[in-house]
Structure 1
């Protein structure tokens, strides 16, 4: 019987990713919200800009729904990339809030 790690490597090597032109452009997000149930994690990405009245206005630009195990792999990949970025460019400093952020929303830098 083969090692499950070998199966994962073989499966990922054969995945062909198809993305349309709009997807390849990407979407800008400067705010994100994470919520979860027992079965899934939901990541909402927003683009927030101040309005002329001084209020912040946000637009949902993308929603990602994923399993808890895949979410944990996403977090590990993000942590690994932040470490590599900071080794190359120096520590990322968190700016003071540019607009009010509700308690259940996490700022994305």
Structure 2
């Protein structure tokens, strides 16, 4: 490849870094979504049985255009997943009640 073509090819690439802490990820079993005229806010929470209080683990703020792109990308990925692994069953009622009932005792 000529230097000019190589330069053009490299110019269109985005260098995205992923540090070790972010690469580990954060587990979430609840997403709370709010929006205004200019942004969508998605709060990811991990609620656990017997814990009456939970904290937001991560907050992502998106423009409406990026929220719509995320919806499309997530839909495409779910479709590909189901083609490979079968239908993802949804629950009519959430299996994770928000109150979790009384705390257990040892």
Report the count of equivalent residues: 89
Give yes or no for the alignment of 1:45 onto 2:44: yes
Counterpart of 2:67 (choices 65, 71, 77) is 71
Deviations 1:41-98 (Å, cap 9, x if unpaired)? 00110111011xxx65422111000100011000000000111111111110124423
Q: Can you give the 5+ residue segments of structure 2 that lack an aligned partner in the other structure?
A: 1-8, 100-106
4+ residue runs of structure 1 moved beyond 3 angstroms? none
Max radius of gyration: which structure? 2
Greater RCO structure (CA 8 Å; 6+ sep): 1
Q: Give the structure 2 partner of residue 100 of structure 1.
A: 97
Q: TM-score, normalised by structure 2?
A: 0.74
- 1:26 and 1:91 map into 2 onto residues whose CA distance is 25
What's the counterpart of residue 22 of structure 1? Answer: 21
What root-mean-square deviation, in Å, do the aligned CA atoms of Structure 1 and Structure 2 show?
2.2
TM-score by length of 1: 0.72
CA–CA distance in structure 2, aligned partners of residues 67 and 13 of structure 1? 23
Structure whose residues are more often strand by fraction = 1
CA contact (8 A) 1:31 1:46 kept: yes
1:56·1:100 contact (CA, 8 Å) conserved in 2? Answer: no
| Structure 1: unaligned runs, 5 residues or longer | 1-9, 103-109
Aligned to 1:60: 56
